Chain A
Amino acid sequence: MQAGNCVGLCHNIPVNGAPFLECRGLRLILGGQPVLGGIDLAVPAGALVALVGASGAGKTSLLRLINRLLAPDAGQILIQGQDIMAQDAVAVRRGIGHAVQGGGLFPHWTVADNIGAVPWLLGWDRQRRQARALELMAMLELPAHLASRFPGELSGGQASRVGLARALAASPRLLLLDEPFGALDPETRDALADRLHALHRAQGLTTLIVTHDLADALLRADLMLVLDQGRIIASGPPTAIAANPHPAVQALLAAPLAQARALAGLTP
Chain B
Amino acid sequence: MTAAQGLPGALAAHLAISAAALLLAVLVAAPLVLLMPGRPWLQRSVMGIASVVQTVPALALLALFFPLLVLVRNLTGLPVPSLGLLPSLLALALYALLPLLRGGAGGLAAIPESVRDAARAIGMTRWQRLFHVELSLAAPVVFGGLRTAAVWTIGAATLATMVGQESLGDLIFAGLQLQDWRQVLLGCAAAAGLAMIVDAGLGLVESGIARRRRGPALIGLMVLALLAAAVSGWWWHSRPASQAAPVVIGTKTFSEQYILAELIAADLRRSGQPVAVRSGLGSGIAFQSVKAGGIDIGIDYSGTLWTQALGRSDVVPRGEMLAILRRELQARHGVTVAASLGFENAYALAMKRDAAQRLGVKTISDLVRVAPQLRLATDLEFQSRAEWAGLQRAYGLRFAAIRAYTPVLMMAALGDNSADVITAYSSDGALSTTDVVLLVDDRGALPAYDALLVVAPGRDALAKRLARYEGRIPVAVMRAANWQADRPSDKRSPADAARWLATQTGLK
B117 / chain A contacts, CB cutoff of 8 Å: 69, 100-102, 104
**In the complex, A109→B137 CA distance in Å?**
10
Q: Which residue on A lies nearest to B124, using beta carbons?
A: A121
Give chain B nearest CB distance to A159 CB in angstroms. 11
Q: Say if the beta carbon of B114 comes within 8 Å of chain A.
A: yes
Contact status A90-B121, CB under 8 Å? no
Q: A121 with B123: in contact, given A107-B137, A108-B136 (CB under 8 Å)?
A: yes
B210 / chain A contacts, CB cutoff of 8 Å: 108
B115 / chain A contacts, CB cutoff of 8 Å: 104-107
Give chain B nearest CB distance to A264 CB in angstroms. 37
Interface size of B by CB at 8 A reads 20
Q: Say if the beta carbon of A117 comes within 8 Å of chain B.
A: yes
Q: A108 with B137: in contact, given A102-B113, A102-B114, A121-B128 (CB under 8 Å)?
A: yes
User: Considering the complex, which residues of chain A in the window 90-145 have a beta carbon less than 8 Å from any beta carbon of chain B?
Assistant: 90-95, 98, 100-109, 117-118, 121
User: Considering the complex, which residues of chain B in the window 90-138 have a beta carbon less than 8 Å from any beta carbon of chain A?
Assistant: 112-125, 128, 133, 136-137
A118 / chain B contacts, CB cutoff of 8 Å: 122-123
Q: Say if the beta carbon of B212 comes within 8 Å of chain A.
A: yes
Q: A102 with B136: in contact, given A118-B123, A121-B128 (CB under 8 Å)?
A: no
Q: Which residue on B lies nearest to A103, using beta carbons?
A: B114
Give chain A nearest CB distance to B396 CB in angstroms. 74
Give chain A nearest CB distance to B11 CB in angstroms. 37
Interface string of A65-94 (1 = CB under 8 A from B): 001010000000000000000000011111
A91 / chain B contacts, CB cutoff of 8 Å: 123
**Interface of A: prevailing SS:** loop
**In the complex, A106→B137 CA distance in Å?**
9
Give chain B nearest CB distance to A120 CB in angstroms. 9
A108 / chain B contacts, CB cutoff of 8 Å: 136-137, 210, 212
Q: Say if the beta carbon of A59 comes within 8 Å of chain B.
A: no
**In the complex, A107→B118 CA distance in Å?**
12
Give chain B nearest CB distance to A103 CB in angstroms. 6
B137 / chain A contacts, CB cutoff of 8 Å: 106-108
**In the complex, A240→B55 CA distance in Å?**
68
**In the complex, A69→B210 CA distance in Å?**
28
A107 / chain B contacts, CB cutoff of 8 Å: 112, 115, 137
Give chain B nearest CB distance to A190 CB in angstroms. 24
Contact status A100-B118, CB under 8 Å? yes
**In the complex, A232→B156 CA distance in Å?**
64
A103 / chain B contacts, CB cutoff of 8 Å: 114, 118
Q: Which residue on A lies nearest to B211, using beta carbons?
A: A108
Q: Say if the beta carbon of A166 comes within 8 Å of chain B.
A: yes
A92 / chain B contacts, CB cutoff of 8 Å: 123
Give chain A nearest CB distance to B192 CB in angstroms. 33
Contact status A93-B123, CB under 8 Å? yes
Most buried by A among B112, B118, B123, B212: B123
Q: Which residue on A lies nearest to B121, using beta carbons?
A: A98
Interface string of A213-230 (1 = CB under 8 A from B): 000000000000000000
A106 / chain B contacts, CB cutoff of 8 Å: 115, 118-119, 133, 137
Give chain B nearest CB distance to A71 CB in angstroms. 13
Contact status A166-B122, CB under 8 Å? yes
**In the complex, A225→B141 CA distance in Å?**
44
Contact status B118-A105, CB under 8 Å? yes
B118's contact among A94, A104, A121, by CB below 8 Å, is which?
A104
**In the complex, A67→B128 CA distance in Å?**
18
Interface string of A131-166 (1 = CB under 8 A from B): 000000000000000000000000000000000001
Give chain B nearest CB distance to A89 CB in angstroms. 8
Most buried by B among A92, A94, A104, A106: A104
**In the complex, A123→B466 CA distance in Å?**
75
Q: A102 with B124: in contact, given A69-B117, A107-B137, A108-B136 (CB under 8 Å)?
A: no
**In the complex, A98→B119 CA distance in Å?**
10
**In the complex, A93→B129 CA distance in Å?**
14
Q: Which residue on B lies nearest to A109, using beta carbons?
A: B212
Q: Which residue on A lies nearest to B140, using beta carbons?
A: A108
Give chain B nearest CB distance to A2 CB in angstroms. 29
A104's contact among B114, B128, B212, by CB below 8 Å, is which?
B114
Give chain A nearest CB distance to B330 CB in angstroms. 67
**In the complex, A117→B136 CA distance in Å?**
15
B121 / chain A contacts, CB cutoff of 8 Å: 67, 69, 93, 98, 100, 104
**In the complex, A196→B114 CA distance in Å?**
22
Contact status B114-A94, CB under 8 Å? no
**In the complex, A108→B210 CA distance in Å?**
8
**In the complex, A76→B443 CA distance in Å?**
96
A94 / chain B contacts, CB cutoff of 8 Å: 122-123
A121 / chain B contacts, CB cutoff of 8 Å: 122-124, 128
Give chain A nearest CB distance to B329 CB in angstroms. 64
Most buried by A among B114, B116, B119: B114
**In the complex, A98→B120 CA distance in Å?**
10
Give chain B nearest CB distance to A207 CB in angstroms. 15
Contact status B122-A117, CB under 8 Å? yes
**In the complex, A171→B133 CA distance in Å?**
23
**In the complex, A117→B133 CA distance in Å?**
12
Q: Which residue on B lies nearest to A63, using beta carbons?
A: B121
**In the complex, A106→B115 CA distance in Å?**
6
Query: Can you list 15 residue pairs at the A/B interface with Cβ under 8 Å?
Result: A69-B117, A90-B124, A90-B125, A91-B123, A93-B121, A100-B117, A100-B118, A103-B118, A104-B114, A104-B117, A104-B119, A106-B118, A106-B119, A106-B133, A108-B210
Residues of A at under 8 Å CB distance from B? Answer: 67, 69, 90-95, 98, 100-109, 117-118, 121, 166
List 11 extra interface pairs beyond A69-B120, A93-B120, A108-B136, CB under 8 A.
A69-B117, A90-B123, A93-B122, A102-B113, A102-B114, A103-B118, A104-B112, A104-B117, A106-B118, A118-B123, A121-B128
Residues of B at under 8 Å CB distance from A? Answer: 112-125, 128, 133, 136-137, 210, 212
